[in-house]
Amino acid sequence: MGTDSYKDKKVITIGIVRDLTGLSERQIRYYEERKLIFPERSAGGSRKYSFSDVELLVEIANKIEDGVQTHEIRKEMLKAQKRENQGEVRRKMIQGQLNAQFGLRKGPASK
Amino acid sequence: MGTDSYKDKKVITIGIVRDLTGLSERQIRYYEERKLIFPERSAGGSRKYSFSDVELLVEIANKIEDGVQTHEIRKEMLKAQKRENQGEVRRKMIQGQLNAQFGLRKGPASK
DNA sequence: AAACCATGTTAGGAAACCTTCCAAACTTGT
DNA sequence: ACAAGTTTGGAAGGTTTCCTAACATGGTTT
């Protein structure tokens, strides 16, 4: 279930992201404004990104270059996420069926 | 051959490292002065660390807590690295033997 | 044409970092 | 025992990095 460790840890400041992606800070902040990316914030308010974010930004940059608008990119992303959640739901439903089939309980062992 | 990608990329600033390790910035800089850790630098001079560096710092912190001096820690690290290089050398020697055995060349196909 | 999109740029201010120095409480070497 | 070294904190002063807000521009939709 989502191997975290590193890839998803938000530890990279915007300047480094700029260097890693080749985008301008202006662009990076704008894509956030358009809800394509969601950095965390430090106590003082500085943005913090993960390597996943960096990868996503590169994908975004490619689409933009192909003339796709942030608006459209956002839709695609929501759709993709919905697919993911679908899978999640399906998995849970199957799990539920199995539990029913074998009469398992969720609590810490029924009496 | 050292799977890079993320773990070894120097992208984390000292403030984040402080938060991740619980060490003070003073300590982190001091361990660098004692040649236990080697951050890269941004164009402007800010230190940049990798996740590997963070892990190493935690190990260092543990040893320090056990009363080991930076001096000793450094020796241990050099020894450990020597062992690594030994392995590296052995591997290359074996590779060399294989090459000799099968009459392989290193250049782009001998005439 | 009016509205929107994507980016650059500027300005002023705050956060984060940097080096250097002094201090203090220990620990070690002689 | 005493000098020398270790480890850490903290302050000062300076530079870099980041933040938001606003205005400008050229291109695209509506």
- pLDDT value at residue B86: 80
- pLDDT value at residue B93: 72
B11/A7 touch (CB, cutoff 8 Å), yes or no:
no
* Distance separating alpha carbons of residues A88 and A78, to the nearest angstrom: 15
Closest chain B residue to A48, measured at CA:
B16
* Per-residue pLDDT tens over the stretch B52-74: 999 999 999 999 999 999 999 99
* Per-residue pLDDT tens over the stretch B15-51: 999 999 999 999 999 999 999 999 999 999 999 999 9
Are the beta carbons of B36 and A37 closer than 8 angstroms? no
Question: Which tokens hold the place of B79?
Answer: 């020894």
Below-70 pLDDT ranges, chain A: 1-4, 90-91, 94-111
Q: Would you tell me the crossing angle of helices B70-101 and B51-65 to the nearest 10 degrees?
A: 130
Bases of chain C below 7 A from a protein C-beta are 5-9, 14-19, 28
Please state the φ and ψ torsions of residue B40, each to the nearest 5 degrees: -85, 180
The gap between B91 CA and C7 C1' (Å) is: 52
Q: What is the DSSP letter of A13?
A: -
Does A41 contact B at CB distance below 8 Å? no
Q: Distances in Å between the alpha carbon of A9 and those of A68, A99, B25?
A: 28, 34, 20
A11/B16 touch (CB, cutoff 8 Å), yes or no:
yes
* Distance separating alpha carbons of residues B49 and B40, to the nearest angstrom: 7
Closest chain A residue to B42, measured at CA:
A16
Are the beta carbons of B57 and B14 closer than 8 angstroms? no
* Contact, B13 CB vs strand C, < 7 Å: yes
